[in-house]
Every structure is written in structure tokens, then in C-alpha cells.
Amino acid sequence: MNNTIISFDRHIMDEQRRYGGRGDFSVILSQIIFAAKVVAAQVAHAGLIEDILGRTGNKNVQGEEVQKLDVYANNMFINALNYIGKVCVMASEEDPDMIMIPEEYPKGEYVVMFDPLDGSTNIDVNISIGTIFSIYRRVTQTGGDGTLEDCLQPGKKLFGAGYIVYGSSTILVYSTGNGVNGFILDPSVGEFVLAHPNITIPPRGTIYSTNEGNYPYWKPGTRTYIDHLKSETNILKKPYTSRYVGSLVADFHRNLLKGGIFLYPEDTKDPKKPTGKLRLLYEANPLAFIAEQAGGAASTGYERIMDIQPTALHQRVPLILGSRDDVKEYEDFARKNL
Ligand code: P6P
């Protein structure tokens, strides 16, 4: 029996040999992994470190209260990537503007955008939270600072993407366009080891994940669809199971492995957020990339997420994500019951 343990570093080396590709990208992935290990250690002890828990009293660009662990994670990913000479610009949920590479460091060919600690409202109640990241090649001339044009690329141009779930164990799931692989952090050796090779999402699931408290604000098509899932007339001939953690990475990871559909549709609850809550560049696109690489789908209800041409750094989109047939069925309802 082959009991070779495949570490993350060995996996990206194998990928590089198999699919070609420059060491630069592998260095970026390794640095993201390093930062994730440090954040995982802090998350694991957050309950014990009083000065990390609680609130900074500040608000981020989304107007959401910033938790100290958010700030810590954001700084960790920025500092792990800004000095290596492989990145020309970054963007983060926690920063209103692009994050430029300091003058003293060389600029590289890649763009990295991330939500450093998604689901932060769950930090203090010990529910899984996570990091989501997108990696693009720059589109402007090489050598100088990256620009907004380098950041505002559609998801279909992604070079790689992934997420880390800080939960009962720390899980990394990523893709560079050649399938999806999942790794578990083995704390005894401090390495991410391959645990879920070639993840594929079942074409249809039995789980739906959404905040039903928004039901009164949904469009008729969304309400009709959710009512359909809760009936005995859907394709399963029994109600779907409802599972919603309120942490995008946790809800998506469960549905990726088991099958199911996650919905944060457009709603009329907040006139400032008519298209829903989730952000295109560092939440919807990277998870859409993973979902499609695993055989699933990601849509606004009317168009493929990865086809959207971004127009703003913190642009929000409706997000319907998961098993291919479930997403397609939602689209049929949304378009019929506009
Ligand atoms: P609601 C967490 O704040 C987050 O950005 C995602 O992780 C999660 O899916 C969503 O918001 C939860 O939003 O409105 O249901 O609390």
C-alpha cells in the first residue's frame, strides 16, 4: 500500500511538473499557506487571548464592525505576500482601496485578492470561519505597480483560487484550473496534507443553505424556488434539508463535499445592497471557480458569476452556488418569476 503522505508543497511541485507553470505561482501559494497556518494558530487560541477577541471599535469598508482577528489575519496575508516580488497589487475586504506593494519591494506578475477572515461575526461563538483568495496574472505592463485594471478581471480569467476553513480542523481547498484538491492541516507536523484528492460536487444535492430571514425581501422567483425545495413535489419527492451556518466558507465547503445549493440572492432589505451581500472579487469569483472546477455551477440567477466584468473593487453580486442541477433549477425559477 502506498502510504506516501502528500504535503501541500509536494502537491504544487507535482502540479508544476505535470502542467508546467512558473515557480512564481507556487511561491505565492506557499506564502498563502504560511499565513494560513499562522492565522489558524491564532483562531485556535482566540478564545484564550482576550486582547484578540472582541471589537476594535472600528468599521471596515463594508460598514461592518471589525474584529481584532480580522485585522490580524488581513495583516498576516498582506505581509506574507508583499515582499516576495511575485505580486504587483492586492485587494482585501478589509481595505477600501487597492493594497500597493511597498516601494522597496520588487513587483511581480500576479494579483492576489482575498477575504482574510470571512464569517467574522462567528469568531466569538466558535463557529467555523475562513479565508478566501483569488489569484490572477496581471494584464498591465510588467515591472511597475499593479492597477485597478489588474484587479477588475472577470472570474473566467482566474489563474487559481481557494479557501481555508478554520474549523474542527483547518482545511485548505484550492484549484489552479486542473481540478480541486483538499488538504487538512496536521498540527503535529505543521503541514497541510492531501486529504480530498480530485473533489467533485454531486450534480444534485439534498441540502439548501440560505438565510430565510430574508424571505420577505426576496423576489417572487426566489420565494417560489425555496417553497419548492420545502415541498414534496420537488425532484427528491421530499423536502430538502436546510443547513445554514452563516459562514460562507463553511456552508460552501459542506455543500461541495456532500452536494447542495448555497443562495445569497438579491433582496430589497437594504437599498444600498440591492444585489445581495456577497462580494464578487474575493468571495463569489473564487468559490465559483472552485465550484465549476468540481463540476458545479455559480450564477447570479441570470448569468454565470465568472462572466461578470467587475466595475468596482467591493462590488456585490447575488450568489447561487453549488450542485449544477440545483443551480440550473434556481435559474429557471428566477427567470420565470422575475
Ligand atoms: P447573513 C459573513 O458575514 C458573510 O459575509 C458570509 O460569510 C455569510 O455567508 C453571510 O455573510 C451571512 O450573511 O446576512 O445571513 O448573516
pLDDT score of 214: 95
Shared domain for 71 and 118, answered yes or no, is yes
Decide which of 166, 196, 226 is a domain's last residue.
196
The range of the structural domain enclosing residue 178 comes to: 8-196
Contact residues for 161 (Cβ-Cβ < 8 A; gap 6+): 132, 133, 134, 135, 174, 175, 285, 286, 287, 289, 290
Residue from 128, 247, 282 to probe ligand 1 pocket by mutation (most atoms less than 8 Å from CB): 247
Shared domain for 248 and 104, answered yes or no, is no
Q: Rounded to whole angstroms, how far apart are CA atoms 59 and 323?
A: 35
Shared domain for 234 and 90, answered yes or no, is no
The C-alpha torsion from 197 through 201 and 205 to 210, rounded to 10°, is: 100
Q: Which atom of ligand 1 is nearest to the CA of 247?
A: 7
187-224 residues labelled b (16+ CB within 10 A) or e (exposed): eeeebbbbbbeebebbebbbbbbbeeebeeebbebbbe
Shared domain for 73 and 178, answered yes or no, is yes
Which residue puts its alpha carbon closest to atom 5 of ligand 1?
119
**Separation of CA 225 and ligand 1 centre (Å):** 21
241 inside domain:
yes
221 inside domain:
yes
Structurally, the chain folds into a number of domains equal to: 2
Shared domain for 174 and 222, answered yes or no, is no
Decide which of 175, 196, 217 is a domain's last residue.
196
2 inside domain:
no
Chain-centroid distance, C-alpha 225: 25
3 inside domain:
no
Question: How many other CB atoms are there within 10 angstroms of residue 245's CB atom?
Answer: 18
Shared domain for 131 and 73, answered yes or no, is yes
CATH of the domain at 235: 3.40.190.80
Shared domain for 159 and 290, answered yes or no, is no
Indicate the SS3 state at residue 257. Answer: helix
Q: Is the CB of 265 under 6 A from ligand 1?
A: no
pTM: 0.94
Sole residue written with cell 420577505: 216
Contact residues for 28 (Cβ-Cβ < 8 A; gap 6+): 81, 84, 86, 87, 110, 112, 135
pLDDT score of 201: 98
Residue from 60, 64, 118, 120 to probe ligand 1 pocket by mutation (most atoms less than 8 Å from CB): 118
Q: Rounded to whole angstroms, how far apart are CA atoms 213 and 187?
A: 38
Shared domain for 183 and 64, answered yes or no, is yes
Q: Rounded to whole angstroms, how far apart are CA atoms 146 and 137?
A: 10
123 inside domain:
yes
Shared domain for 164 and 216, answered yes or no, is no
pLDDT score of 296: 98
pLDDT score of 55: 58
205 touches 256 (CB < 8 A): no
pLDDT score of 275: 78
Amino acid at 137: R
CATH of the domain at 72: 3.30.540.10
300-327 pLDDT tens trace = 999 999 999 999 999 999 999 999 999 9
Shared domain for 135 and 167, answered yes or no, is yes
18 touches 142 (CB < 8 A): no
201 inside domain:
no
| Residue ranges, the chain, pLDDT below 70 | 1-3, 22, 46-61, 63-67, 338
pLDDT score of 53: 55
Starting at the earlier edge strand, list the strands of the sheet with 261-264.
Answer: 241-242, 207-209, 261-264, 319-322, 297-299
265 inside domain:
yes
Shared domain for 232 and 332, answered yes or no, is yes
Q: Which atom of ligand 1 is nearest to the CA of 264?
A: 9
Decide which of 150, 177, 196 is a domain's last residue.
196
**What spatial distance separates the first Cα and last Cα of the chain, rounded to whole Å?**
56
Measured in residues, the chain has a length of: 338
**Separation of CA 102 and ligand 1 centre (Å):** 32
Shared domain for 239 and 104, answered yes or no, is no
290 inside domain:
yes
